[in-house]
Structure 1
Amino acid sequence: MKYIRVKVKYLAPYIKNLMGLEEETITIEGEASLKDLMVKIAEIHGKHILTQLLNESGDRLRESLLTLINNTVIQDINHKLKDGDTITLLIAIDGG
């Protein structure tokens, strides 16, 4: 079975506190999409995290989530990840 390893960076205070760390390396089995990564993050950090990453139906990233893959903004949940990718997650919080 093929595995890919990606580095995930959590930027901005809200998501750092939510995850409890600033970055980690995650190994995913098989060909993986951005959605697969979000599900894996929730498996590691708790299912409640998934509601912060995906919309209610689970078919799109939340609008408040900004996702960069290798410093390029990618919002396509089906985007295929490659071994060695760096994924940066930021969650925008409204307020004033």
Structure 2
Amino acid sequence: MQTYATRYKAGVWKLYDDTCHAAPTYKELCGRSSMSSWMNSASMAGFSSGFSSKQRLLDKDEYWVAFPEFAHCGTADKLTCTVPKP
């Protein structure tokens, strides 16, 4: 599944189907999404200066990121998910 992310309104981001690729069947084993450089930079601003140094991560170190906030999200014909803010 191929999507792209964009800001819907202040503080709200949404994923949309990327129409340059085949429409999703929602039976895909994986997916990927693209986003603007600004969105990517803003989302990672605290990560590179805070998290990675505190965890002593070096270049090419492997780590796993889990998002339990997404566990309730469905996979119906229209994927809708609201993630609570911390």
TM range, normalised to the smaller chain?
A: 0.3 to 0.5
- Structure with the greater alpha carbon radius of gyration: 2
Higher strand share: 1
Structure number with greater CO (CA < 8 Å, separation at least 6) is 1
